[in-house]
Structure 1
Amino acid sequence: MEPRTELQRNALVEARRQELNVYQRALDIQWLNSRMEDGRMGRCLALIQREAEMEKDFQERTDHAAIVNARAERETRLGIEINKVRREEICQLLRRHYLRERDPSLKELAKKLQAGYVCRDIQQQILHNEYRRLQEKAEDMRSNNILLNALSDDKDAEDQEAKEKMQRTTQYCKELQQQLVNRQRQKQCQYEDSLIEKKMLEDIIRTMSDEDKRELQQKRDLTEKTRHEMKTFLQAREAWKQKQKEMVIIEERKIEEQNKMMADRQSAIVQERERRMKIKEEINEKMSAKILADEAARQERTNIIKLLQEQEYLEKNFQDDIAEQLKLEEVRRTTKDALAAQIEERKKAVRDRRMVEAQFRKETEDKIADDMRKEREEHQKRREKGKLYSQELLKQIQDNASRRKQDVKMEEDRAVYVWDCDRKWRQEVSKEREKMIQEHAPQLLGYLQAGVLQPEDLPAVRAGANTKPELKVLDIEGMAKSKRAHRFAKCNAMCRTLREY
């Protein structure tokens, strides 16, 4: 059905637009859903791949760690083994050093081997010196041959030298002539220079003489001026001295006038002093009279005081006598009471002493009975103690016997242990001796002292020589046998008699 109006057409267009929008929105939603599903699947695949890679990496790391751990463990075990071997070697070396230091035979062997090395070094040094001496001798012979060969060429050399000497002489003469010419020219130049210098010196001397004359004239003028000034100064000084004399005369006159005035003043002072002395004497006389009067009054007062004191002393003595009598009566009464009290106390003391003696006697009897009882108990205890002591003594005897048996057994065990230790020590010493001989003896054959190597040491020497190619060819067994004839000691008469007997 076709739209007829504009509104219908617009509504239809609007409806179609809405349908298209809805359809487009549905398509967009579907596309988004598909994209989301694809992204989720991609993420899952990526996660699975990453987990696989992580598992593979972890496996590789685990395998590498296991390899590293195994290698470290092997290295550790190897280091431990190496350290163990080194420690064993060090212990063995220390043991060998201990044996060499402690055992006298090894120490003596080491000294003899050292002496052998020293002897070898000395022999080698002697051979070296001998070789050097022969070499120097050959060098001297070669130089002598060279000198003999050179003597044949001396004549030609002398002729050539004579020609060269002639040439040198000619050249020297020419040089001398040239030097003489040069010296003459130099003298001429020096003479001309001396003339010039002489003229210059004359000019300088003339100038200096003129200057000296001028200075002398100046000095004369200065001297004249100084003389004039001195004359003026002397005149002024004479005038000043005259003036000073006049002033001194005036001053002396003034001093005389002052002295005269002082003399008049001193006479007045003396008169005033005499007047004052008279007044002072009068005052002294008055004071002495007053002092005498005061002294008489004081003496009278003193006499009165003495009389009063004597009277007071007499009264006091009378009172003291009365008090002394009262005191004597009191003392007599007190003494009587004290004696009566002492008598009563003595009676009481006698009664108390008797009671104490009775008590002491009773206590002594009780104590004696107690001591007797204790003594019986002590005697019983001593008997029991003696029995115990005898039992302990028997037990101690048995213990001592068992201990002696144990000590004997321990001593035997100790002896066996010491014997075993000594045997092991001798074995170690023999092994160390064998090692020392094997290490050092092959290089020192012919340099050792006699008796250092024994017949039982030959296998060790042979073994040591076999370790070095240059010593394998040595005949050790043949070297051990001496090729010298055996010598017998001379026999005396007694020896022959004994042999025949």
Structure 2
Amino acid sequence: MGTLPQIRSLPNIFNYFRYAMIEPKTELQKNAIVEARRKELESYQRAIDIQWLNSRMEDGRMGRCLALIQKEAEMEKDFQERTDHAAIVDARAKKEIALGIEIAKERREEACQLLRRHYLREHDPSLRELVKKLQAGYVRRDQQQQILHNQYRRLQEKAEENRANRALAEASYDDQEARERDEQFKIERNHQYCMAIQQQLVNKQRQKQCEYEEMLIEKRNIDDVMRTIADEDQRELQHKHDQTEKMRNEMITFQKAREAWKDKQKEMVVIEDRKIEEQRQVASDRSSAIVAERERKIQLKDESNEKVAIKMLADEAARQHREDLISELQHQECEDKNRQDDLAEWTRSERAKVDMKEGLLAQMEDKKLEATSERARDVGFRRSMESQMADEDEIEEEKKRKIKAKNDQYSADLQQQILDNAARRQKEKAFEEKRNREEYEQDQEWRKEVLEERKKIMEDHVPKLLGYVQPGVISQEDVANPRLADLGINIKTSNRPKRLPKCNAQCRILREY
């Protein structure tokens, strides 16, 4: 395949040389030759490119195969390494997990033991008392240490004070000249101080003189002002006196004018009264004529009133006559109506008697029928009551049978309950015995744990508090402890029984419990 384009390209080369040797004659021929040359060159170049690509493809395929083989080898090696590393990591992780579990277990056990010890110390009276006594021992030890520290500090302070006194005694000889210089300096300073005080006294005296002169000047000014104020007050009083005198004169003048005006008014009133009297006289003459006219009119009015009264009396008499006639007619009508009412009442009473008689007869018949039906009803009721009583007797017998069966069942249940109670009491007794045994075992375990805890407490604290705890805290059992035997603890024991003051037998039992 690679040689085929090369074989096909040889005629083209010959054609190229042929076209090159033929000399073109026209422009079209030149263009055709150029185009043919270009096509031949392109086909030749394409063949060369295809050949090169084929060779490159074969080389690339081989390279890819080699690269693939190498990559697979590297992947296998990497997988092997990772597998080995993962196994190592897994083993290490398992070891770490197991170690962590063991550590957590140990810590949990330690925490449980600490909690148990704390529970024992909190709930056991003897351990609480022991802890209190040990705490008191620690307090006493701290107090003793504080006392020793204070004594040592006082000794140190005393030594420091002695050393300072010696240093002061040695330095006192060197300070003699300094004291003389200080005395000379004090004398000079006192002299300067006296001079300064004297100058201050002189200045103060001068200041007082100046203040006195200023006071005199101020007093003179004040006197002038007071004199001016007094003159002004005098002038004001004189002015007020003049005004008062002027007002009094005006009041006198006004009073005189007022008296004159009053006299004039009185004269005018007298004149007015005279005029009024004259007018009254004229009016009285005019009123007599008016009175005569008024009397005439009154007389005419009385005459007309008499005529009207006579007419009214006549009308009243006629009206009274009419009313009498009307009342007579009404009385007659009432009598007629009463007679008709009496007749109707008699008719009604007769009819009521007839109706009553008929009703009584019907009632007698009804009573006879009711008596007959009552006898029949009594017979039926007696029969029904007899049947009902028979049924009730049967029901009563049935109730008695049920009560008897119920009593029998109750007695059987009671017997069964007695047996059950006996079995239950037996179980409770066994359970109580078991519970007592468990309580005894728990108490023994509790005492054992308390003893162990006491031993641990004594082992931890007695070496630190030896000589500071109260007597009786360290017992004979504590001395027998191997860890405390090296401390040289000696406890004097006596054969006398232990006495607890202010305690009776019951209290001792409770204390031991």
Q: Same fold (TM over 0.5)?
A: yes
Please say if residues 116 and 448 of structure 1, whose CA atoms lie closer than 8 Å, have aligned partners that are also in contact: yes
Superposition deviation, residue 186 in structure 1:
9.8
* Identical residues among aligned pairs (%): 27
CA distance in 2, matches of 1:25, 1:179: 134
Whether 1:421 aligns to 2:431 is no
Amino acid paired to 1:475: D
Kindly report which structure 2 residues correspond to 1:169-318, keeping only aligned pairs within 5 A, or say none.
Answer: 169-170=187-188, 172-173=190-191, 176=194, 260=276, 306-318=327-339
User: 2:34 matched to which residue of 1?
Assistant: 17
Kindly state the Cα deviation for residue 251 of structure 1 after the two structures are TM-superposed.
12
Inter-CA distance 255–449: structure 2 relative to 1 (3 Å threshold): farther
Query: Which secondary structure does the structure 2 equivalent of 1:479 belong to?
Result: coil
Partner residue in 2 for 1:475: 486
Q: Using the alignment, how far apart are the partners of 1:377 and 1:331 within structure 2?
A: 65
Where 2:335 maps in the other structure, the secondary structure is: helix
Partner of 1:364: 385
- 1:107 matched to 2:118: no
> Alignment partner for residue 136 of structure 2, among 118, 132, 139?
118
Contact 1:112–1:449 at 8 Å: present in 2 too?
Answer: no
How far off its partner does 1:22 sit?
1.1
CA separation in 2, counterparts of 1:16 and 1:388?
141
- Quote how far apart the aligned CAs of 1:331 are: 1.9
Q: CA deviation at 1:335?
A: 1.5
Q: Distance in 1 between matches of 2:91 and 2:315?
A: 142
> Per-residue displacement from partner, 1:431-456 (whole Å, max 9, x unpaired)?
33334434444433334344434333
The more displaced of 370-379 and 106-115 is 370-379
- Does structure 1 residue 446 correspond to structure 2 residue 464? no
| Matched length | 455
**TM-superposed deviation, 1:132:** 1.9
Using the TM superposition, give the Cα deviation of residue 310 of structure 1 relative to its aligned residue in structure 2, in angstroms.
Answer: 3.6
Per-residue CA distance 1:112-158 (angstroms, 9 max, x = gap): 42233224414532552354246436634653575477468757756
| Deviation, structure 1 residue 6 | 8.8
Tell me which residue corresponds to 1:432.
453
Which residue identity is paired with 2:491? K
Compute the displacement of 1:429 (Å): 3.4
CA–CA separation in structure 2 for the residues paired with 1:21 and 1:111: 122
Q: Deviations over 1:133-192 (max 9, x none)?
A: 46436634653575477468757756753564245425644665587679879989998x
Correspondence 1:129 to 2:147: yes
Distance 1:361 1:149 in 2: 148
Shift of 1:302: 5.7
Task: Give the TM-score of the pair, scaled to structure 1.
Answer: 0.61
Who is 1:468 aligned against? none
CA distance in 1, matches of 2:130, 2:35: 127
Counterpart mapping for 1:56-67 below 5 A: none
What amino acid sits opposite 1:431 in the alignment? E
Name the amino acid aligned to 2:466. Answer: L
CA distance, structure 2, for counterparts of residue 322 and residue 242 of structure 1: 115
What SS is found at the alignment partner of 2:477? helix
Further displaced range: 412-421 or 149-158: 149-158
Match of 1:497 in 2: none
Where structure 2 has 5 or more consecutive residues not aligned to the other structure, the ranges are 1-17, 499-513
Distance 2:185 2:213 in 1: 44
Give the superposition deviation at 1:13.
2.7
Please state if 1:342 is matched with 2:363: yes
Q: For 1:31-180, what aligned pairs fall within 5 Å after superposition?
A: 90-102=111-123, 106-129=124-147, 131-133=149-151, 135-136=153-154, 139-140=157-158, 143=161, 146-147=164-165, 150=168, 157=175, 161-162=179-180, 164-166=182-184, 168-170=186-188, 172-173=190-191, 176=194
Amino acid at match of 1:479: I
Counterpart of 1:114 in 2: which secondary structure?
Answer: helix
What is the alpha-carbon root mean square deviation over aligned residues?
6.5
Task: Go from structure 1 to structure 2 and tell me whether the alpha carbon gap of 1:405 and 1:253 turns closer, same or farther (over 3 Å shift).
Answer: same
Residue 470 of structure 1 is matched in structure 2 by none
Q: CA deviation at 1:393?
A: 5.5
Aligned: 1:26 with 2:47: no
Assess, with a 3 A threshold, how the Cα gap between structure 1 residues 177 and 243 changes in structure 2: closer, same or farther. closer
CA contact (8 A) 2:127 2:450 kept: no
The answer (yes or no) to whether the contact 1:120–1:444 under 8 Å persists in 2 is yes
How far the C-alpha of 1:95 sits from its partner, in A, is 3.8
Contact kept, 8 Å, 1:99 with 1:429, in 2: the verdict is yes
- Distance in 1 between residues matched to 2:311 and 2:456, nearest whole Å: 142
Q: Bigger CA drift: 390-399 or 116-125?
A: 390-399
User: Contact between 2:134 and 2:461, CA under 8 Å: does it hold in 1?
Assistant: no
Aligned to 1:320: 341
Does the CA contact (< 8 Å) of 1:113 and 1:448 recur in 2?
no
Deviations 1:440-476 (A, max 9, x none): 444333343444343334466x54x6xxxxxxxx734
For residues 350-407 of structure 1, the C-alpha deviation after alignment (integer angstroms, 9 at most, x for no partner) is 1112211221232233334444555555566566666656655565555455444444
Deviations 1:228-259 (A, max 9, x none): 9x989x99x979x9799879968996998699
Deviation larger for 428-437 or 274-283: 274-283
Amino acid corresponding to residue 129 of structure 2 in structure 1:
K
CA deviation string 1:317-342 (max 9, x = no partner): 32232222122112212221221122
Q: Following the alignment from structure 1 to structure 2, what is the Cα–Cα distance between the partners of residues 184 and 26?
A: 140
How far the C-alpha of 1:346 sits from its partner, in A, is 1.3
Identify unmatched segments of 5+ residues in structure 1: 466-473, 490-501
Asked if the contact 1:3/1:9 (under 8 Å) is kept, the reply is no
CA contact 1:113–1:441 (8 Å) conserved in 2: no
Once residues 204 and 394 of structure 2 are traced to their aligned partners in structure 1, the CA distance between those partners, rounded to angstroms, is 158
CA pair 185-23 structure 1, distance change in 2 beyond 3 A? same
Question: Which stretch of the first structure deviates more once superposed, 368-377 or 78-87?
Answer: 78-87
